[in-house]
Amino acid sequence: MKALVVANWKMNPPTFREAKKLLETTRKAADATEHVTLVVAPPAIFLRELRARHKGKKIAFALQNASAEESGAYTGEISLAQGADAGATYAIVGHAERRAMGESSDDTQKKVAAALAANMTPILCVGEATRTASAEYFGVVKEQLRIGLADISSSQLGSVIISYEPVWAIGGEKTMSPRDMHEMAIFIRKTVVELHGEKGMGVKIIYGGAATESNAANMLRDGDVDGLLVGHVSVDAPRFAALLQAIEDAT
């Protein structure tokens, strides 16, 4: 089975010229692999032109964020339909950086349902801000899953991806251990089964939170995940190429 790698460029790079160059180097790195499914999430302002320039099937595109509303007086927002029209087939929902800016779990609930209605694959991000010995972070993740998946049916679970991203690791070089991720993956599947029945056992889970070329292979091998949500490393072309190669070498 191929590993799903989502390259979240965040608010990078600053110019379209640089975005074109980054996509080209990313494409070449992807072309050197056989066991990776790659999704690129560029800034929305670059999405349509980047998608138009990429004619192959090796790379799919994602929105970093979108409104659950179909249209209307929502200045500055982008609808999922607009994103789909620009070429996106995935949508990141509830990223920790969006939650930090005020996005609630109720918002993620609406966006997950709206993405599915728009025939897009939602990537629902869940994760705790801090981790302590009392393990209350399990409750945080469970609640985010309960609300985020509340408006979908069990038959739709196969069209949803869960990205576990421990907030304390995002943007850095220190990740959690694959063993701890394996434990969390078991907990996520158990929670989804409790919410939606046995089909929850097949839910796709990816890891996001300091995913780098150094830990990618170990996380996929021992972390019980189907892929990675990659942040800052995805806009560093040599490091991202090394990450994809590390995955390829491990499969």
Tens of pLDDT, residues 173-191: 667 899 999 999 999 999 9
Mean pLDDT confidence for 186-215: 95
C-alpha to C-alpha distance for 165 and 175, rounded to whole angstroms: 10
Sign of CA dihedral 189, 190, 194, 200: positive
pLDDT in tens, 79-115: 999 999 999 999 999 999 999 999 999 999 999 999 9
C-alpha to C-alpha distance for 177 and 155, rounded to whole angstroms: 32
Q: Work out the mean pLDDT of the chain and round it to a whole number.
A: 94
Q: What are phi and psi of 192, to 5 degrees?
A: -65, -35
Q: What was the pLDDT predicted at 250?
A: 87
Quick one: DSSP state of residue 175?
P
* The residue to which tokens 């179909």 are assigned: 70
Chain centroid to Cα 102, Å, comes to 19
Q: Is 165 a catalytic residue?
A: yes
More confident position, 242 or 135: 242
Q: Is 232 a catalytic residue?
A: no
- Choosing from 97, 103, 128, 165, the catalytic residue is 165
Helix (H) / strand (E) element for 163: namely strand 161-164
- Choosing from 95, 97, 103, 232, the catalytic residue is 95
Q: What CATH number did the domain enclosing 149 receive?
A: 3.20.20.70
Q: 25: closest CA among 59, 1, 49, 52?
A: 59
Q: How many structural domains does the chain have?
A: 1
Domain that holds residue 91: 3-250
How crowded is residue 28: how many other Cβ atoms within 10 Å of its Cβ?
12
Q: Contact, 23 vs 54, CB < 8 A?
A: yes
Say which residues have a Cβ less than 8 Å from residue 46's Cβ, sequence separation at least 6: 16, 19
Quick one: DSSP state of residue 134?
T
Q: What was the pLDDT predicted at 16?
A: 98
Look at residue 172 and tell me whether its pLDDT is greater than 70.
no
Mean pLDDT confidence for 49-76: 94
